[in-house]
Amino acid sequence: MLIHAHQLSKSYGSKLALDRVDLTLDGSDSIALVGPNGAGKTTLMSLICGYLQPSSGSLSVLGQAPGSSELLGQLSALPQDAQLDPGFSIGIQLRHFGALQGMSKSEADREARRVLDLVQLADTFSSRPQDLSHGMRKRVTIAQALMGQPKLVLLDEPTAGLDPANARAVRELVNNLRGQCHFLISSHNLEELQKMCSTVLHIEQGRISQTLEVHGGQNDAILTLTLAPQSGKDAGRWLGQLPGVNEVTHKGQQEFLLRYDNNAHPQFDIELLQALHQQQMEYRQLGRGLSLEDRLFSGSSTE
């Protein structure tokens, strides 16, 4: 069992930040924690780390009480504003974290090089933090969270402020480590979470309002289509007249949700692409099912 919470609540004075949360997580490779500012995400992460104590209810992490010595080396967390010390090289700092975990000097050195290699920054071992870009420093802090091969890694906004290439490197890292450790990732970037996580927890006003499986429970009879900007005002009407289409929802700009008859048109996606080609209409994106954003916020979730 990764995380088990029963009627977990946390108050700061009179402010109820988490309100009787029930949660059972096991098996998922990576879990996304989403929700508006102030919803309680950081509070939940802090409770999982044992930085905070619950006001009531119970919580166990990897079968242990948060903060217990059994979790040392099993659980790591990267706070959103984690900083590196400008006074020491990357290698020295990572080795120091290894030493804090009880590694010998040579073990810590090996481990520091291993995690730097994982984030594709092996050649920064002797560099100072100020010699690296913001994105590279962020990846080093993620490497730091991977020291000692923890089973559960908590990442708070790991790609906030990163350029696309660095954000992609972080996503690839999380995906490459699938099966080796579990991630709990807090972020506001739903599109990105969809690429990294298998389970999404939506937290609102201190309560878990939805739990979604990213790749499960999707309605096969829905396609999300984004057309090129020059596709014209009548594109929605034209789409609605295609054989098999039951309903077209215009989502803004040139993005459409198409609900279609999956029984009569099992290859509707191919038929749609052919129709677009014949009509010389360019498309930008075609996706099966609903986006995570639609599933969380349109009430269209199948769960």
98 makes contact with ligand ATP (CB under 6 A): no
Q: Which of 39, 201, 222, 239 binds ligand ATP (CB under 6 A)?
A: 39
Pick from 295, 279, 292: which is nearest to 237 by CA?
279
Residue 14 or 280 having the CB closest to ligand ATP: 14
Distances (CA, A) of 128 to 83, 88, 123, 133: 12, 6, 12, 11
The CB-of-10 to ligand ATP minimum distance in angstroms stands at: 8
Q: Which of 41, 95, 138, 202 binds ligand ATP (CB under 6 A)?
A: 41
The strand pair at 3-12 and 56-61 is best described as antiparallel
The DSSP 8-state label assigned to residue 249 in this structure reads E
289 makes contact with ligand ATP (CB under 6 A): no
The CB-of-69 to ligand ATP minimum distance in angstroms stands at: 26
The strand pair at 199-204 and 30-34 is best described as parallel
Residue 37, judged by CB atoms within 10 A of its CB (0-12, 13-18, 19+), counts as: exposed
The CB-of-243 to ligand ATP minimum distance in angstroms stands at: 45
Residue 37 or 130 having the CB closest to ligand ATP: 37
* Size of the chain in residues: 303
239 makes contact with ligand ATP (CB under 6 A): no
Residue 37 or 280 having the CB closest to ligand ATP: 37
Stretch that binds ligand ATP, among 11-19, 97-105, 144-152, 221-229 (CB under 6 A): 11-19
43 makes contact with ligand ATP (CB under 6 A): yes
The DSSP 8-state label assigned to residue 105 in this structure reads H
14 makes contact with ligand ATP (CB under 6 A): no
15 makes contact with ligand ATP (CB under 6 A): yes
Largest distance between two CA atoms of the chain: 70
CB-CB neighbours of 268 under 10 Å: 21
The CB-of-95 to ligand ATP minimum distance in angstroms stands at: 31
Tokens at 127, concatenated = 């560099």
Residue 31 or 257 having the CB closest to ligand ATP: 31
Complete edge-to-edge strand list for the sheet that includes strand 255-260 = 245-252, 255-260, 222-227, 283-288
Is residue 266 within 8 Å of residue 223, measured between CB atoms?
A: no
Residue 12 or 297 having the CB closest to ligand ATP: 12
Per CB under 6 A, residues contacting ligand ATP are 12, 15, 17, 35, 37-43
